[in-house]
Structure 1
Amino acid sequence: MTHAVAGASGYVGRKLVRLLDAAGTPVLALGRRAEALPGGTHVRGRAVDIADTADLTEALSGIEVAYYLAHAMAAGADFAERDRRMARSFAKAAADAGVRRIVYLGGLGTGELSAHLASRQEVGTLLGEAGVPVVELRAAVIIGAGSISFEMLRYLAERLPAMVCPRWVGTRVQPVAETDLLSCLHESADDRIPAGVHEIGGPDVLTYQDLMQLYARVRGLPRRRIVRVPLLTPGLSSHWVNVVTPVDRAVSRSLIDSLRTDVVVTRPATVFSVEPMSAADAIRDALDSQRERIAERVFDFDNGLLDGVFALRTEVPVSGRDARAARLDLTECGGSLRWYGWAWAWWLRIVLGKVFGERLALHRPGTVEPGSTVDWWTVADLGDNRIVLVTEQWFCGEAWLGYRIAAGRLEQVGALRAKGLLGWAYWRAVYPVHLVVFRVMARKQARRAHALARKTSSDTQV
């Protein structure tokens, strides 16, 4: 059974494609840009405009279950009309292609809805107009790294120990864990899940203020001081959020306009096998899962900020002989600051950490392997051509340092998941220094490899 995922380059789409691929399900990933689509063992991607019914019909040929996870929220003021066009096109294409069922992720809410929530629910109706059965899941805030709502929550709670907030912080919300949502989406492909609307959420109904305080508690931050001010309109709130968070302006405005509506489950779905997580466990799981993914994919990071993680990468060329030596040098870490490439800069970093209560100590393990303690780091990943170190001992948050030798170059990537306002301020303050230090570190690593290659060559000749 082949599944198609429309909107595969988005947050939920990418997660769902990975889940289906891991389960061995053939997946067709659909999106506007082929280069942005996720890959996988059982995944093939295709660029398609959902509003182009003829092209979409051809793409959906042979598909039994089609997930609709696309939306036009970032398109500006006319997003609702574009959502209508795409939904009608998808419905007709699915019917013409013989798709057995459509699975759609919409939004909770009753009564007077915002333009965003009204559009989400209208799309669910339009998808069924051509006769293909639709399983419509309605959910509120998704707790997971990369979810726009979660990232807004993260940045507000992390960066603002005290904040003046509008009345919407008292609106009730029933968040759902990312893993629970994905499980429900996965099960929705089965005929045992009846077509129709299914409301899903976790066991906790909270206000947005409660949710920010809960995030702070789980993250180990002091309780946030929140003062409600009734004069802040959604428009003013969006400007305020745009200053504090890097979330897209068009998206944040639409979302904030929706925060006036309670989004809670009124008719709990009973057809899924999922035992939903509490909000606290969902936040903890989101943070823990992100920490594991960073260690696995640190070399995919680009310079800048993404989902609460600052990253900086540097590359220097190395010759073939030096590359072989550099691989050997990766396991020579620990016990000396010289291995990092600029010893005195790291010495200053240790001194700075002492001001904030850090007690960083050098340590050389008997064998460098995954799980070994190397200085203040733990070896998170180790291969023939790479090493990734992680530490949770820094006052400013969790940090990763990775080295990889590939395609005639040495790649060095540093990442920091800043913790609280202090962590954010630390990265901003040292970023200009890091730009210089990281280049020097990478070059010195290359020089170490060159020297080791010459020594190895000399020893061989002797």
Structure 2
Amino acid sequence: MNGRRVLVTGATGYIGGRLTPRLVEAGHEVRALARDPGRLRDASWADAVDVVQGDLEVADDVRRAVAGVDVVFHLVHAMGAGGDFATAELAQARNVAAAAKAAGVQRIVYLSGLHPQGERLSKHLASRVAVGDALLGSGVPTIVLQAGIVIGSGSASFEMIRHLTEVLPYMPAPRWVRNFVQPIAVRDVLHYLVAAAAVPGEVHGAFDIGGPDVLRYGQTMNGYAVEAGLPQRPIAPLPVLTPWLASQWVNLVTPVPRAIAMPLIGSLLHDCVVADRRIDAIIPPPEGGLTGYRKAVRLAIARERSGDIESSWRSSTPAGAPSDPLPSDPSWSGSTVLEDARERTTAASPDALWRVVEAVGGDRGWYSVPLLWSLRGLGDRLVGGVGLRRGRRDPDHLREGDVVDFWRVERIERGRMLRLRAEMKVPGRAWIEFAVDPATDGGASYRQRAVFLPSGLAGRLYWWSLVPAHHVIFEMMASRIVAVAEEESR
């Protein structure tokens, strides 16, 4: 049943930002409610939806948002926002429930958390259950989809797995690291959500959804390690590591905020697996079946490890696949990117500056501390790398695929941008990029950045150990390139 009028709350969030364009593609007329509509300004689908400003805790705002709507997707949570998130979530849900009933909404769809029955739940899971119950009691036909760990770049649960595995070569962990979970790929979550809009009105209730694999939490980390090309991590369960202590530990060694890590960790105190597959009779699994855990991880990191560096640098262009990163994802999501960036303005013309940039390397060198570059090349040769001896094909001009010492030209926009990919032996992947733009005063703007995507702890230690040298090398490189361009402009 296409062409329904749909409201999405939480369109700026992880699931909402991926669901909204897929609802548009399915032929629905979509309205997105956002407290700050400006956060949707850069979304590729923003012009295809009706973006309205409103606060779910303000009843009048919710009533205006649901007016004329057939289906409400409630995808908001307050975890990480500070304060009593459970109280805020329940108040929001009650406003949505009351407004939906009054407006004659035909369907509410809510994404909740997979949880065991008959156990005392963590605050996070208990809040999800309370919100689901409030919506189920609204008098509007409601589907509550209860999902476990969602696997995709940007998902808080996945990012915690990613960063813990990347950083720690040895994993001291609470004993609940041996509890069972049933992860689900984000693409499969979206499959169920999109299909829920067309479910007949008599369907009402909560339904478990999960992927095909039931794993111990420790196995999810080592499954990530295998797909990321890292050694599997020894895991030692420690009975004394409480959820509070574990959240402090996660906050210390990963960028995941403690306000998010703590409720997520509390949820891991339980086995969270699918109790039944009643959902299959209502929404069949996607064509080809549900996505296995290892494949879901592979999809989540594919663009980041494929050489598509714009994706890894969090480009403003949204990725197409649901497992890809989006610009609206939190700053702590995605693979770790370490960067050294320098900028200069110069009276030299853009053409003169570009000539210096395009001639970098080879006999002209790298405009900074030749001894350090020579030592780096020698070190690379000693560990089986290519070293600095390859030089250049042409002293003045480059084309994509050319060798420049231990770099290779990955991309060139003549007169504007040059990106070199490192081919030396490093524990990760490295690039250096030079950009030239005309300045408003007739001169030129020069931007230079070295980017490193570390592999595991070794990659991070490698970068941090070189920070002092990088400061000297890259600062001098930027200054000398500009100075040479100015000399040649005279």
Query: Greater Rg, structure 1 or structure 2?
Result: 2
| Distance of 2:31 and 2:410 partners within structure 1 | 33
> What does 1:39-438 align with in structure 2 at a 5 Å threshold?
39-44=42-47, 45-76=51-82, 78-96=84-102, 99-111=105-117, 112=119, 113-191=121-199, 196-268=205-277, 269-270=279-280, 271=283, 272-274=285-287, 275-291=289-305, 294-296=309-311, 298=313, 300=315, 307-312=334-339, 314=341, 316-318=343-345, 322-324=349-351, 335=362, 338=365, 345-354=372-381, 357-360=384-387, 362=390, 364=392, 376-377=406-407, 381-383=411-413, 385-391=416-422, 394-406=425-437, 408=439, 409-438=445-474
**For the structure 1 residues 178 and 439, does the alpha-carbon distance in structure 2 shift closer, same or farther, using more than 3 Å as the test?**
farther
**For the structure 1 residues 160 and 382, does the alpha-carbon distance in structure 2 shift closer, same or farther, using more than 3 Å as the test?**
same
SS of structure 1 residue aligned to 2:227: helix
Question: 1:285 deviation in Å?
Answer: 1.5
Q: How many pairs were matched up?
A: 453
Q: Summarize deviations over 1:388-435 as a string: whole Å, max 9, x none.
A: 444576432123433444573333333322111111112222234434
Q: Aligned partner of 2:254: which letter?
A: T
Match of 1:15 in 2: 18
Instruction: Compare 107-116 and 196-205 and name the one that shifted more.
Output: 196-205
**For the structure 1 residues 228 and 324, does the alpha-carbon distance in structure 2 shift closer, same or farther, using more than 3 Å as the test?**
same
**For the structure 1 residues 344 and 190, does the alpha-carbon distance in structure 2 shift closer, same or farther, using more than 3 Å as the test?**
farther
Q: Aligned partner of 1:148: which letter?
A: A
Match of 2:442 in 1: none
**For the structure 1 residues 86 and 373, does the alpha-carbon distance in structure 2 shift closer, same or farther, using more than 3 Å as the test?**
farther
Per the normalisation by structure 2, the TM-score is 0.79
Match of 2:9 in 1: 6
**For the structure 1 residues 419 and 95, does the alpha-carbon distance in structure 2 shift closer, same or farther, using more than 3 Å as the test?**
same
Q: Aligned partner of 2:109: which letter?
A: V
**For the structure 1 residues 42 and 15, does the alpha-carbon distance in structure 2 shift closer, same or farther, using more than 3 Å as the test?**
closer
CA contact (8 A) 1:342 1:444 kept: no
Instruction: Compare 164-173 and 150-159 and name the one that shifted more.
Output: 150-159
Instruction: Compare 327-336 and 56-65 and name the one that shifted more.
Output: 327-336
Question: 1:326 deviation in Å?
Answer: 5.0
Q: Aligned partner of 1:308: which letter?
A: S
CA contact (8 A) 2:304 2:312 kept: no
CA contact (8 A) 1:237 1:256 kept: yes
Per the normalisation by structure 1, the TM-score is 0.83
CA contact (8 A) 1:14 1:38 kept: no
CA contact (8 A) 2:360 2:366 kept: yes
Q: Aligned partner of 1:74: which letter?
A: G
Question: 1:164 deviation in Å?
Answer: 2.0
Match of 1:458 in 2: none
Q: Aligned partner of 1:417: which letter?
A: L
Q: Aligned partner of 1:286: which letter?
A: A
CA contact (8 A) 2:392 2:402 kept: no
| Distance of 2:431 and 2:244 partners within structure 1 | 38
Instruction: Compare 312-321 and 201-210 and name the one that shifted more.
Output: 312-321
Question: 1:261 deviation in Å?
Answer: 0.8
Match of 2:322 in 1: none
CA contact (8 A) 1:357 1:395 kept: no
Q: Summarize deviations over 1:5-62 as a string: whole Å, max 9, x none.
A: 3223322233334555677866544433344336334315444322112123324445
Q: Summarize deviations over 1:242-285 as a string: whole Å, max 9, x none.
A: 22222111211111111111111122332242522221111121
SS of structure 2 residue aligned to 1:137: strand
SS of structure 2 residue aligned to 1:73: coil
Match of 1:460 in 2: none
Instruction: Compare 6-15 and 159-168 and name the one that shifted more.
Output: 6-15
Q: Aligned partner of 1:101: which letter?
A: R
CA contact (8 A) 1:5 1:28 kept: yes
Match of 2:323 in 1: none
| Distance of 2:348 and 2:66 partners within structure 1 | 50
CA contact (8 A) 1:316 1:446 kept: no
| Distance of 1:20 and 1:320 partners within structure 2 | 51
| Distance of 2:367 and 2:72 partners within structure 1 | 50
Q: Aligned partner of 2:336: which letter?
A: V
**For the structure 1 residues 15 and 393, does the alpha-carbon distance in structure 2 shift closer, same or farther, using more than 3 Å as the test?**
farther
Question: 1:81 deviation in Å?
Answer: 0.9
Residue in structure 1 matching 2:39, options 36, 40, 65: 36
| Distance of 2:364 and 2:134 partners within structure 1 | 62
| Distance of 2:39 and 2:195 partners within structure 1 | 26
Unaligned runs of 5+ in 2: 317-326, 440-444
**For the structure 1 residues 171 and 355, does the alpha-carbon distance in structure 2 shift closer, same or farther, using more than 3 Å as the test?**
farther
CA contact (8 A) 1:74 1:250 kept: yes
CA RMSD of aligned residues (A): 3.6
CA contact (8 A) 2:312 2:334 kept: no
| Distance of 1:232 and 1:354 partners within structure 2 | 45
| Distance of 2:31 and 2:400 partners within structure 1 | 35
Question: 1:116 deviation in Å?
Answer: 0.9
| Distance of 2:103 and 2:182 partners within structure 1 | 37
Q: Summarize deviations over 1:326-376 as a string: whole Å, max 9, x none.
A: 567766567567368775554444344456554355464689666666655
SS of structure 2 residue aligned to 1:55: helix
SS of structure 1 residue aligned to 2:138: coil
Q: Aligned partner of 1:418: which letter?
A: P
Q: Aligned partner of 1:401: which letter?
A: I
**For the structure 1 residues 365 and 5, does the alpha-carbon distance in structure 2 shift closer, same or farther, using more than 3 Å as the test?**
farther
Q: Aligned partner of 2:116: which letter?
A: T
Question: 1:287 deviation in Å?
Answer: 1.2
